[in-house]
C-alpha cells in the first residue's frame, strides 16, 4: 500500500469540517471541493468571481501535492444554478487548455453557505 499524505495548507482557507485540502497516495491525488471563499472569509457575489477563487485554491492544493493541471483526470463541479455553466466554462477552458479531464457537472440545492454558487473537486494522476 502506498504512503498516504494528507495536506492542510496554510495558504488556503481552513476546512469547514473534518477533512484536509488534498490527499496524495502514490501517484494519485484527490483535491477536496474548493469554493469561492477568500482567505479573509469574504465571498464574491458573482459566480465567475467565486469560480476564479475556487480554481486558484484547487490549483494551489494540486501543486502542493506535486501536480499540475495536465495531471487532472476528473473534475466534479457543483452549481446552485445550472445555467451558470456557460459563465464559468471559459475559466475551465483557460485552466485546462488542451488537457481535457473527464467531468461531471450537477446542479445542487445548496452548498456549505447560502452565498456560495459553485464548488469544484478534482482527481489527478501524477506521472
3-state class of 44 per DSSP? coil
Measured between alpha carbons, how far is residue 6 from residues 26, 43, 60, 76 in Å? 12, 26, 14, 20
127 residues of the chain, pLDDT tens digit each: 789 999 999 989 888 889 999 999 999 999 999 999 999 999 999 999 999 999 999 999 999 999 999 999 999 999 999 999 999 999 999 999 999 999 999 999 999 999 999 999 999 999 8
Rounded CA separation 117/77 (Å): 11
Residues 83, 53: contact at Cβ < 8 Å? no
Check residue 16 and give its pLDDT: 84
What does the alpha-carbon distance between residue 11 and residue 38 come to, in Å, rounded to a whole number?
Answer: 11
Angle between helices 85-96 and 47-64 (to 10 degrees): 30
- Read off the pTM: 0.95
Q: Express each pLDDT in 97-109 by its tens digit.
A: 999 999 999 999 9
The CATH code belonging to domain 4-125 is 3.30.1330.40
Amino acid at each position: 500500500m502506498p504512503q498516504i499524505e494528507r495536506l492542510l495548507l496554510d495558504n488556503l482557507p481552513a476546512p469547514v469540517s473534518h477533512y484536509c485540502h488534498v490527499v496524495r497516495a502514490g501517484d494519485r491525488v484527490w483535491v477536496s471541493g474548493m469554493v469561492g471563499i477568500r482567505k479573509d472569509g469574504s465571498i464574491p457575489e458573482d459566480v465567475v468571481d467565486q469560480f476564479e477563487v475556487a480554481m486558484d485554491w484547487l490549483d494551489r492544493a494540486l501543486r502542493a501535492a506535486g501536480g499540475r493541471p495536465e495531471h487532472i483526470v476528473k473534475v466534479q463541479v457543483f452549481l446552485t444554478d445550472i445555467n451558470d455553466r456557460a459563465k464559468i466554462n471559459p475559466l475551465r477552458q483557460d485552466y485546462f487548455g488542451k488537457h481535457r479531464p473527464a467531468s461531471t457537472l450537477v446542479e445542487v440545492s445548496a452548498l456549505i453557505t447560502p452565498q456560495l454558487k459553485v464548488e469544484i473537486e478534482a482527481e489527478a494522476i501524477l506521472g
